[in-house]
């Protein structure tokens, strides 16, 4: 606990730097990740992340120093190359994209491991610390390194803000972007470059192996809370930043721990929470919605049945007992009973002795469902030329969905009909 | 002798991976293979903590089950939570892999695994861990027996299930129509992939399993149109990579598994450029449009 307060009071300058760095790194990769996610190329980031390793090693072998700028350039070159190769293999051979990604990812990583182990065995004292690139260590973000990576992160964020409109169009409607004269090819290149840069700076915090999570997971989580790209970007950045801070905290309290896995664990927990509980899009919200819809459909079917029973003789005041309803149409008994009770409390039904009677509102609502059902049957026979005995099932579903506006258009389209295909009157 | 055992281990791993990889790439599931190979890590660590050894059967089974669980989890995220499919893969495997690494760090004293081993294995140490019977007879490296057993299982699986695996990979609609359960064979294939990954894990590590799962089959795919030829060819390519990789690693004094992956990449590059039927540098007679 003491460490917790020590860390979050930010009294220590070192803590301030590390926190700031982690937030920038994690935040900027999350923002770029949103675009790759929306372009359905999330796993490409994984390939780039792994492909960065041989670049780092080569840069070290060639320069002999661990100057972050030089390593960064090496990483950038191989990362970029991996993306070009994936596209080239997919375009020029019958290898599919997923195979190309898996291939490039593992082969580049293999080369990287071969070089890294070779450097380690060479006994060069300067090499120690290169393996930090594997799992990341936010605590090592100090001094010059921090300044360079923070500058890159800020550049990344600026680029996304400047090209926001263009990138948005590229993600959502590439063809349209092309027709109105956007340089789509150039924008793709820009996004590629941004992705590679995001990976190159992000691996400082989480390492090459788990970098994919920093691109994919915050974006996937943010996607569940909103449909607006701008909001999604901010949310993803915040989620990334929160996990970045917690990673910095872990490496502050337990310097031997690799930070990457902790950052990923925290961001994944946030994502899983979002998948399950986000309003509207979340799993729970959808289950609730499905239940409610099912109930509503059952209730509408009950109203419809009651209306149909009385429709011919217009005897809407005759009470209909439960078993009469169940004879006509098989409802699950328990649900039907609770549906009837609910309709009563809503004022659509009244209970008289053992039977049920529609109220005025009930008649109106029941009539509407019947009308929609018959209108739709007529529409299907007239416009799709379906046989009249094939249209019932379809109408049975759509009658609960048609909005008043659609209803009006159907009426106009069908020229205010009187009879449905089965020669029943359309009420 | 050490070289022999190392190359034998490499070849056995390559055989299992290449055979299964052929089905994965044809089903466009290369990245699922990648995901499984990462996600078995926590299973391995937990099984290790419980049983205290690397080569026990319960460990392989336990960790193998986790691989199948991964496919369930990906499906669950995709189907029920409606996460976009590539994101579902990415989120699932990074998460499980992260848990595995954290477990290794926390139980560092009790688990004889380290983070580097997870990434690229320790195939060089294979000859050191010998299986010696109570009578003092040395039966060779333990790992060779484990992976050899898994190789026999995988070959038997493919021989006995050849028709079903073939049909479900190429025409799942037809397979379903003649009564082959597509989901049963899907999960059997995933179980086989998990088993192979777990068994190969300590010799080549999580990510290089992917190289052997994807690269030899992809290379073979550029060289032939016949599926049986593709299976045989990819096994041959995998074994060649084990040989060449071993000597490359000795020459560079680096990781053997990394070198094997490098060679599989070189093989692919050669096929990509010079494949007689599909190489991009080989002139093919193009059908000219008829002039009128």
Q: Count of CB atoms within 10 A of residue B25's CB?
A: 29
Co-location of A159 and A68 in the same domain: yes
What's the number of domains chain A is made of? 2
Contact criterion met (CB below 8 Å) for B198 and B43: yes
pLDDT at residue number B219: 95
- Partners of B25 on chain A (C-beta within 8 Å) are 95-96, 98-99
Minimal Cα distance from A267: which residue of B? B95
pLDDT (tens digit per residue) in A358-390: 888 888 888 888 888 888 888 888 888 888 788
Share of chain A above pLDDT 90, in %: 21
Which of A220, A199, A221 lies closest to A210 in space, CA to CA? A199
Co-location of A301 and A204 in the same domain: no
Contact criterion met (CB below 8 Å) for A367 and A330: no
Global pTM value:
0.84
| Domain-embedded: residue A278 | no
Co-location of A74 and A178 in the same domain: yes
Co-location of A164 and A298 in the same domain: no
| Domain-embedded: residue A235 | no
Tens of pLDDT, residue by residue, chain B (292 residues): 788 888 998 999 999 999 999 999 998 888 888 888 888 888 888 887 887 766 667 777 777 788 888 888 898 888 888 888 888 999 999 999 899 888 888 887 676 667 677 777 777 777 777 777 777 777 778 788 888 988 999 999 999 999 989 998 888 888 888 888 888 898 899 989 988 888 887 777 777 788 999 999 999 999 998 999 999 999 999 999 999 999 999 998 888 889 999 999 999 999 999 888 778 877 665 555 666 6
Co-location of A296 and A193 in the same domain: no
pLDDT at residue number A42: 86
CA distance B157 to B179: 19
Tell me whether residues A95 and B222 touch, CB distance under 8 A. yes
Minimal Cα distance from B271: which residue of A? A93
Co-location of A174 and A307 in the same domain: no
Which of A155, A151, A156, A109 lies closest to A133 in space, CA to CA? A109
When mean pLDDT is compared across A42-56, A333-347, B206-220, B222-236, the lowest value belongs to: A333-347
Residues ≥6 apart with Cβ < 8 Å to B195: B60, B64, B67, B150, B153, B154
In Å, how far is B149's CA from the nearest CA of chain A? 26
The residue from A218, A242, A274 where one domain ends is A218
| Domain-embedded: residue A254 | no
Q: What is the mean pLDDT of residues A282-287?
A: 89
pLDDT (tens digit per residue) in A217-231: 999 999 999 999 999
The residue from A218, A246, A262 where one domain ends is A218
In Å, how far is A348's CA from the nearest CA of chain B? 35
In Å, how far is A37's CA from the nearest CA of chain B? 7
> What is the ipTM for the molecules in this complex?
0.90
| Domain-embedded: residue A265 | no
Which of B279, B232, B259 lies closest to B22 in space, CA to CA? B232
Co-location of A205 and A314 in the same domain: no
CA distance A402 to A379: 13
Co-location of A200 and A305 in the same domain: no
- Mean pLDDT over the full length of chain A: 85
CA distance B229 to A304: 63
| Maximal CA-CA distance, chain A | 99
When mean pLDDT is compared across A86-95, A338-347, B218-227, the lowest value belongs to: A338-347
Minimal Cα distance from B33: which residue of A? A102
Co-location of A77 and A206 in the same domain: yes
Q: Does A96 touch chain B (CB under 8 A)?
A: yes
Share of chain A above pLDDT 70, in %: 96
Mutation site, B86, B267, B270, interface A, largest A CB count within 10 A: B86
The residue from A187, A218, A249 where one domain ends is A218
Backbone angles phi, psi at B28, to 5 degrees: 55, 45
Q: Which of A98, A134, A286 sits opposite B31 (nearest CB)?
A: A98
| Domain-embedded: residue A392 | yes
Domains in chain B, CATH or no CATH each: 2-206 (1.10.3470.10)
Q: What is the mean pLDDT of residues A304-310?
A: 84
Whether the per-residue pLDDT at A125 is higher than 80: the answer is no
Tell me whether residues A102 and B34 touch, CB distance under 8 A. yes
CATH number at residue A396: 1.10.10.10
pLDDT at residue number B61: 76
The residue behind tokens 């009677």 is A357
Provide the residue range defining the domain that includes A367. 286-413
Which tokens is B200 given? 């190969």
Minimal Cα distance from B280: which residue of A? A92
Co-location of A187 and A89 in the same domain: yes
- Mean pLDDT over the full length of chain B: 85
Q: What is the mean pLDDT of residues A343-357?
A: 83
Q: What is the mean pLDDT of residues A262-273?
A: 91
Co-location of A340 and A196 in the same domain: no
Co-location of A201 and A298 in the same domain: no
- Partners of B114 on chain A (C-beta within 8 Å) are none
| Domain-embedded: residue A247 | no
Tell me whether residues A113 and B264 touch, CB distance under 8 A. no
Which of B209, B202, B235, B165 lies closest to B34 in space, CA to CA? B209
Q: What is the mean pLDDT of residues A232-259?
A: 85
CATH number at residue A68: 1.10.3470.10
Minimal Cα distance from A106: which residue of B? B211
Backbone angles phi, psi at A398, to 5 degrees: -80, -20
| Domain-embedded: residue A51 | yes
- In chain A, what are the helix, strand and coil shares in percent, each to the nearest 5? 75, 5, 20
DSSP E strands: which ranges in A283-362? 320-321, 349-352, 355-358
Residues ≥6 apart with Cβ < 8 Å to B90: A42, A43, A45, A46, A212, A213, A215, A216, A217, A220
pLDDT at residue number B103: 87
| Domain-embedded: residue A268 | no
In Å, how far is A221's CA from the nearest CA of chain B? 9
pLDDT at residue number A308: 83
């Amino acid at each position: 606990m003491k460490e917790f307060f020590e860390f979050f009071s930010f009294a220590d300058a070192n803590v301030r730097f590390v926190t700031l760095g982690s937030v920038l790194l994690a935040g900027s990769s999350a923002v770029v990740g949103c675009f790759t996610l929306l372009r359905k190329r999330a796993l490409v980031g994984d390939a780039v992340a792994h492909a960065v390793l041989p670049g780092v090693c080569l840069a070290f072998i060639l320069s002999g120093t661990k100057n972050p700028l030089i390593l960064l350039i090496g990483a950038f070159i191989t990362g970029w190359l991996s993306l070009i190769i994936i596209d080239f293999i997919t375009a020029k051979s019958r290898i599919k994209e997923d195979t190309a990604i898996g291939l490039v990812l593992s082969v580049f990583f293999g080369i990287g491991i071969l070089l890294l182990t070779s450097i380690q065995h060479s006994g060069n004292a300067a090499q120690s610390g290169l393996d930090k690139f594997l799992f990341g260590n936010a605590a090592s973000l100090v001094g010059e390194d921090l300044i360079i990576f923070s500058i890159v992160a800020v550049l990344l964020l600026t680029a996304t803000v400047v090209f926001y409109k263009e990138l948005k169009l590229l993600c959502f409607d590439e063809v349209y972007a092309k027709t109105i004269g956007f340089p789509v090819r150039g924008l793709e290149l820009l996004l590629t470059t941004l992705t590679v840069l995001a990976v190159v700076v992000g691996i400082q915090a989480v390492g090459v192996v788990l970098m994919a999570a920093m691109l994919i997971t915050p974006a996937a989580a943010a996607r569940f809370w909103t449909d607006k790209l701008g909001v999604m970007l901010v949310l993803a950045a915040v989620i990334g930043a929160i996990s970045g801070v917690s990673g910095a905290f872990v490496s502050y309290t337990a310097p031997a721990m690799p930070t990457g896995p902790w950052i990923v664990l925290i961001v994944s927990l946030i994502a899983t929470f979002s998948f399950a509980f986000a309003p509207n899009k979340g799993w729970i919200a959808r289950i609730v919605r499905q239940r409610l819809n099912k109930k509503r459909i059952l209730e509408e079917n009950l109203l419809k049945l009651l209306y149909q029973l009385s429709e011919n003789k217009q005897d809407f005041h005759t009470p209909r007992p439960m078993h009469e309803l169940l004879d006509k149409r098989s409802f699950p008994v328990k649900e039907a009973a609770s549906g009837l009770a609910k309709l009563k409390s809503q004022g659509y039904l009244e209970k008289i002795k053992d039977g049920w009677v529609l109220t005025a509102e009930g008649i109106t609502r029941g009539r509407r469902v019947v009308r929609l059902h018959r209108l739709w049957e007529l529409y299907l026979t007239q416009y799709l030329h379906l046989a009249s005995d094939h249209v019932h099932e379809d109408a049975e579903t759509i009658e609960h969905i048609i909005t008043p506006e659609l209803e009006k258009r159907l009426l106009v389209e069908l020229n205010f009909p009187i009879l449905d295909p089965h020669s029943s009157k359309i009420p | 002798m050490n070289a022999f055992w190392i190359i034998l281990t490499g070849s056995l791993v390559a055989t299992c991976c290449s055979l299964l990889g052929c089905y994965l790439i044809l089903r466009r599931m290369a990245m699922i293979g990648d995901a499984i190979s990462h996600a078995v890590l926590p299973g391995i660590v937990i099984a290790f903590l419980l049983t205290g050894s690397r080569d026990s059967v319960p460990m392989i089974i336990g960790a193998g089950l986790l691989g199948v669980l991964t496919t369930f989890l990906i499906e669950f995220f995709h189907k029920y939570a409606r996460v976009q499919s590539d994101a579902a893969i990415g989120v699932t495997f990074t998460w499980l892999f992260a848990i595995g690494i954290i477990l290794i760090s926390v139980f560092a004293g009790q688990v004889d695994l380290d983070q580097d081993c997870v990434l690229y294995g320790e195939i060089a140490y294979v000859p050191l861990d010998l299986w010696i019977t109570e009578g003092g007879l040395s039966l060779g490296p333990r790992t060779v027996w484990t992976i050899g057993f898994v190789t026999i299982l995988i070959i038997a699986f493919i021989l006995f299930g050849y028709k079903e695996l073939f049909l479900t990979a190429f025409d799942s609609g037809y397979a379903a129509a003649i009564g082959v359960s597509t989901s049963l064979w899907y999960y059997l294939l995933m179980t086989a992939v998990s088993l192979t990954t777990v068994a190969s894990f300590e010799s080549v590590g999580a990510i290089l399993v992917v190289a052997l799962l994807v690269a030899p089959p992809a290379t073979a795919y550029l060289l032939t149109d016949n599926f049986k030829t593709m299976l045989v060819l990819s096994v041959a390519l995998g074994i060649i990579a084990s040989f060449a990789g071993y000597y490359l690693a000795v020459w560079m004094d680096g990781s053997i598994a990394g070198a094997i992956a490098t060679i599989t990449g070189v093989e692919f590059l050669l096929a990509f450029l010079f494949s007689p039927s599909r190489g991009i540098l080989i002139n093919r007679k193009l059908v000219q449009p008829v002039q009128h």
